[in-house]
Amino acid sequence: MTMNGKSQQRKEEIISAGAVVFDAQGYAEATMEDVARQAGISKGSIYNYFRNKKDLFRQVFADVFAADEEVFSRISDSGAPTLEKISGLVEAWYQRLDEYVRIGRLLLEFWATAAREERAGEASNWLSSMYSQRREMLSQVLAEGIRRGEFDRQFDPSAAAALIISLLRGITVQAIIGAEPHLDRDFVDSVKRAVLNGLIGSAQQGAE
């Protein structure tokens, strides 16, 4: 294994240790000493990879969102009909839901951290950029459906993308706090129908 490979492995071990510590203690109470202890390394070694606790905290979420992006990009770049892509994106979200719930407390804490910052804050900027990219990706999929004639040409892909993402994000928050206990196959199929019927309904209304 090369030194670069060893460095990457060590970085991943620190990220994994950070996820465990942040989940157990929360961001405010967790320390870099705790993370170092969990990773089995010296505290100083962490600073070879991360500037501070906030930098590590953000990277924990960057890894989660990077896994999302890999799945979502594969679906959006496929040659499937647009409605199949939308259905696939909802299904991918559902398959990842257990992971969101597992890190749910951290996810809410990260959102709260960003919300407490000024708009130019580091966490706020990063989170805003991530969601903007996701909206743009979904907007492009919907715009493709318009070009193919699958949707009404008056349909606003940017607005629809924002609504779909907000719907899934809202359900995710409910799942994290235990307000929606019935997230089974019937539930996700109902979500798919609601999203797809909303898009198809727009096309039908435009045809009337």
pLDDT recorded at residue 117: 63
pLDDT in tens, 140-162: 999 988 888 887 667 789 999 99
pLDDT recorded at residue 120: 58
Domain ranges of the chain: 1-50, 54-207
For the domain made up of 54-207, give the CATH fold: Tetracycline Repressor; domain 2 (1.10.357)
pLDDT recorded at residue 208: 38
User: What is the C-alpha to C-alpha distance for residues 16 and 38, in angstroms, rounded to an integer?
Assistant: 9
* CATH, range 1-50: 1.10.10.60
Residue whose structure tokens are 């890999």 = 70
Shared fold status for 1-50 and 54-207 = no
pLDDT recorded at residue 118: 59
Closest CA to 63 of 23, 8, 12, 105: 12
3-state secondary structure the chain: CCHHHHHHHHHHHHHHHHHHHHHHHHHHHCCHHHHHHHHCCCHHHHCCCCCCHHHHHHHHHHHHHHHHHHHHHHHHCCCCCHHHHHHHHHHHHHHHHHHHHHCHHHHHHHHHHHHHCCCCCHHHHHHHHHHHHHHHHHHHHHHHHHHCCCCCCCCCHHHHHHHHHHHHHHHHHHHHHCCCCCCCHHHHHHHHHHHHHHHHHHHHHHHC
pLDDT in tens, the chain (208 residues): 344 778 889 999 999 999 889 888 888 889 999 999 999 999 999 999 999 998 898 888 888 778 788 888 899 888 899 999 999 999 999 988 888 887 777 778 777 776 776 555 666 677 778 788 889 999 999 998 888 888 766 778 999 999 999 999 899 888 888 886 678 889 889 999 988 888 876 444 433 3
For residues 138 and 66, the answer to whether their CB atoms sit within 8 Å is: no
